[in-house]
Protein backbone atom coordinates (compact mmCIF):
# COMPACT_ATOMS: atom_id res chain seq x y z
CA UNK A 1 0.00 0.00 0.00
CA UNK A 2 2.89 2.37 0.81
CA UNK A 3 4.32 1.85 -2.67
CA UNK A 4 1.00 2.72 -4.31
CA UNK A 5 0.66 5.90 -2.27
CA UNK A 6 4.24 6.92 -3.03
CA UNK A 7 3.78 6.25 -6.75
CA UNK A 8 0.60 8.35 -6.80
CA UNK A 9 2.24 11.21 -4.94
CA UNK A 10 5.34 11.24 -7.17
CA UNK A 11 3.16 11.21 -10.28
CA UNK A 12 0.95 13.98 -8.96
CA UNK A 13 3.70 16.21 -7.64
CA UNK A 14 5.95 15.87 -10.67
CA UNK A 15 3.62 17.98 -12.79
CA UNK A 16 2.10 20.24 -10.16
CA UNK A 17 1.72 23.96 -10.43
CA UNK A 18 3.59 24.41 -13.70
CA UNK A 19 4.46 27.89 -14.99
CA UNK A 20 3.64 28.92 -18.55
CA UNK A 21 4.33 31.87 -20.82
CA UNK A 22 2.72 33.14 -23.98
CA UNK A 23 4.43 34.97 -26.81
CA UNK A 24 1.96 37.85 -27.43
CA UNK A 25 2.95 37.89 -31.11
CA UNK A 26 2.19 41.05 -33.05
CA UNK A 27 3.06 42.50 -36.42
CA UNK A 28 2.01 46.03 -35.45
CA UNK A 29 5.29 47.60 -34.32
CA UNK A 30 5.47 51.06 -32.76
CA UNK A 31 8.45 52.91 -31.31
CA UNK A 32 6.60 53.64 -28.05
CA UNK A 33 6.50 49.90 -27.36
CA UNK A 34 10.29 49.75 -27.14
CA UNK A 35 10.37 52.61 -24.63
CA UNK A 36 8.01 50.60 -22.41
CA UNK A 37 10.13 47.46 -22.81
CA UNK A 38 13.26 49.38 -21.79
CA UNK A 39 11.52 50.63 -18.64
CA UNK A 40 10.62 47.01 -17.84
CA UNK A 41 14.27 45.92 -18.31
CA UNK A 42 13.37 43.52 -21.10
CA UNK A 43 16.06 41.62 -23.00
CA UNK A 44 16.00 42.14 -26.77
CA UNK A 45 16.75 39.19 -29.03
CA UNK A 46 16.93 39.91 -32.74
CA UNK A 47 16.16 37.08 -35.18
CA UNK A 48 17.75 37.49 -38.62
CA UNK A 49 18.33 35.10 -41.54
CA UNK A 50 21.88 34.57 -40.16
CA UNK A 51 20.58 33.67 -36.71
CA UNK A 52 19.63 35.33 -33.42
CA UNK A 53 21.68 37.71 -31.27
CA UNK A 54 21.23 39.94 -28.23
CA UNK A 55 20.79 43.65 -28.72
CA UNK A 56 22.29 45.68 -25.85
CA UNK A 57 22.71 49.38 -25.09
CA UNK A 58 19.50 50.16 -26.95
CA UNK A 59 18.67 53.67 -28.04
CA UNK A 60 15.55 54.77 -29.80
CA UNK A 61 15.58 57.72 -32.16
CA UNK A 62 12.21 58.28 -33.82
CA UNK A 63 11.66 55.07 -35.82
CA UNK A 64 15.21 53.69 -35.61
CA UNK A 65 16.27 51.19 -32.96
CA UNK A 66 20.02 51.26 -32.39
CA UNK A 67 22.03 48.89 -30.25
CA UNK A 68 25.11 46.77 -29.82
CA UNK A 69 25.06 43.29 -31.34
CA UNK A 70 26.31 40.70 -28.84
CA UNK A 71 26.33 36.89 -28.92
CA UNK A 72 23.26 35.18 -27.56
CA UNK A 73 23.62 33.96 -23.98
CA UNK A 74 22.91 30.22 -23.68
CA UNK A 75 20.27 30.94 -20.99
CA UNK A 76 18.00 32.35 -23.69
CA UNK A 77 18.45 29.59 -26.27
CA UNK A 78 15.73 27.32 -24.89
CA UNK A 79 13.11 30.04 -25.47
CA UNK A 80 14.01 30.84 -29.08
CA UNK A 81 11.32 28.77 -30.79
CA UNK A 82 8.18 28.70 -28.67
CA UNK A 83 4.73 27.61 -29.75
CA UNK A 84 3.08 30.89 -30.74
CA UNK A 85 -0.42 29.40 -30.60
CA UNK A 86 -0.29 27.55 -27.28
CA UNK A 87 1.14 27.46 -23.81
CA UNK A 88 4.89 27.17 -23.28
CA UNK A 89 6.27 25.82 -20.02
CA UNK A 90 9.20 27.25 -18.10
CA UNK A 91 10.78 26.17 -14.81
CA UNK A 92 9.96 28.51 -11.93
CA UNK A 93 13.68 29.15 -11.34
CA UNK A 94 13.95 30.58 -14.89
CA UNK A 95 11.08 33.04 -14.48
CA UNK A 96 13.35 36.09 -14.78
CA UNK A 97 14.82 34.76 -18.00
CA UNK A 98 11.65 33.54 -19.70
CA UNK A 99 9.49 36.56 -18.88
CA UNK A 100 12.11 39.18 -19.74
CA UNK A 101 12.43 38.40 -23.43
CA UNK A 102 11.34 40.47 -26.41
CA UNK A 103 11.98 38.79 -29.77
CA UNK A 104 12.38 41.00 -32.81
CA UNK A 105 12.10 39.36 -36.23
CA UNK A 106 13.60 40.97 -39.31
CA UNK A 107 14.83 39.93 -42.74
CA UNK A 108 17.67 42.45 -42.51
CA UNK A 109 21.29 41.30 -42.24
CA UNK A 110 23.89 42.66 -39.84
CA UNK A 111 26.77 40.32 -40.74
CA UNK A 112 29.97 41.59 -39.10
CA UNK A 113 28.53 44.82 -37.74
CA UNK A 114 28.63 45.39 -34.00
CA UNK A 115 26.29 48.38 -34.12
CA UNK A 116 22.81 47.64 -35.36
CA UNK A 117 20.44 50.23 -36.80
CA UNK A 118 17.01 48.76 -37.27
CA UNK A 119 14.17 50.81 -38.75
CA UNK A 120 10.76 49.94 -37.32
CA UNK A 121 9.35 49.04 -40.75
CA UNK A 122 12.10 46.38 -41.09
CA UNK A 123 10.55 44.45 -38.20
CA UNK A 124 7.87 42.04 -39.40
CA UNK A 125 7.11 40.34 -36.09
CA UNK A 126 7.51 40.99 -32.40
CA UNK A 127 7.10 38.47 -29.56
CA UNK A 128 6.82 39.80 -26.02
CA UNK A 129 6.89 36.96 -23.50
CA UNK A 130 4.51 37.19 -20.57
CA UNK A 131 2.80 34.85 -18.10
CA UNK A 132 0.04 32.70 -19.58
CA UNK A 133 -2.46 32.97 -16.74
CA UNK A 134 -5.03 30.75 -18.44
CA UNK A 135 -2.56 27.85 -18.71
CA UNK A 136 -1.26 28.50 -15.18
CA UNK A 137 -4.81 28.39 -13.74
CA UNK A 138 -5.47 25.15 -15.63
CA UNK A 139 -2.28 23.65 -14.22
CA UNK A 140 -3.23 24.71 -10.70
CA UNK A 141 -6.69 23.18 -11.02
CA UNK A 142 -5.30 19.90 -12.34
CA UNK A 143 -2.63 19.89 -9.64
CA UNK A 144 -5.16 20.40 -6.88
CA UNK A 145 -7.37 17.63 -8.27
CA UNK A 146 -4.30 15.43 -8.75
CA UNK A 147 -3.22 15.91 -5.14
CA UNK A 148 -6.67 15.69 -3.55
CA UNK A 149 -7.85 12.59 -5.43
CA UNK A 150 -5.21 10.19 -4.06
CA UNK A 151 -5.52 11.67 -0.57
CA UNK A 152 -9.30 11.23 -0.59
CA UNK A 153 -8.90 7.71 -1.99
CA UNK A 154 -6.45 6.76 0.78
CA UNK A 155 -8.72 8.22 3.48
CA UNK A 156 -11.76 6.44 2.00
CA UNK A 157 -9.91 3.13 1.80
CA UNK A 158 -8.76 3.59 5.40
CA UNK A 159 -12.31 4.32 6.52
CA UNK A 160 -13.64 1.27 4.67
CA UNK A 161 -10.94 -0.94 6.16
CA UNK A 162 -11.65 0.43 9.67
CA UNK A 163 -15.40 -0.12 9.33
CA UNK A 164 -14.85 -3.68 8.13
CA UNK A 165 -12.63 -4.34 11.11
CA UNK A 166 -15.26 -2.97 13.54
CA UNK A 167 -18.16 -4.90 12.04
CA UNK A 168 -16.35 -8.24 12.36
CA UNK A 169 -15.02 -8.23 15.91
CA UNK A 170 -12.48 -10.83 16.84
CA UNK A 171 -13.61 -13.20 19.58
CA UNK A 172 -11.17 -15.18 21.61
CA UNK A 173 -12.32 -18.19 23.61
CA UNK A 174 -10.63 -18.30 26.97
CA UNK A 175 -11.74 -21.86 27.85
Tens-digit pLDDT profile for residues 114-167? 899 999 999 999 998 888 767 657 655 555 666 666 667 676 676 676 666 555
Tens-digit pLDDT profile for residues 21-30? 888 888 888 8
In a domain, 39, yes or no: yes
In a domain, 34, yes or no: yes
As a whole-number percent, the residues of the chain with pLDDT over 70 amount to 69
In a domain, 125, yes or no: yes
**Mean pLDDT of the region 82-97:** 83
**Does pLDDT of 175 surpass 70?**
no
In a domain, 83, yes or no: yes
Give the pLDDT band (50/70/90) at residue 111. confident
In a domain, 144, yes or no: no
CA distance 79 to 88: 9
In a domain, 116, yes or no: yes
In a domain, 81, yes or no: yes
User: Structural domain of residue 78, as residue ranges?
Assistant: 19-135
Per residue, the 3-state secondary structure of the chain, as one string, reads CHHHHHHHHHHHHHCCCCEEEECCCECCCCHHHHHHHHHCCCEEEEEECCEEEEEEEEEEECCEEEEEEECCCHHHHHHCCCCCCCCEEECHHHHHHHCCEEEEEECCCCCCCCEEEEEHHHEEEEEECEECHHHHHHHHHHHHHHHHHHHHHHHHHHHHHHHHHHHCCCCCCCC
> How high is the pLDDT of residue 77?
85
| Residue among 162, 90, 168 at smallest CA distance from 129 | 90
As a whole-number percent, the residues of the chain with pLDDT over 90 amount to 19
Domain count along the chain: 1
In a domain, 127, yes or no: yes
Tens-digit pLDDT profile for residues 4-17? 556 555 555 555 66
**Mean pLDDT of the region 100-120:** 88
Amino acid sequence: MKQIIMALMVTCLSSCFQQYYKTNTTSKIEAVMFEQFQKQNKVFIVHTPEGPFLLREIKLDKDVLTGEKTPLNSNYERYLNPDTTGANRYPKKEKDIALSEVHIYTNSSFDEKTEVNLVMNQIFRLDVYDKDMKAIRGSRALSIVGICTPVIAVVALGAIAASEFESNPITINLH
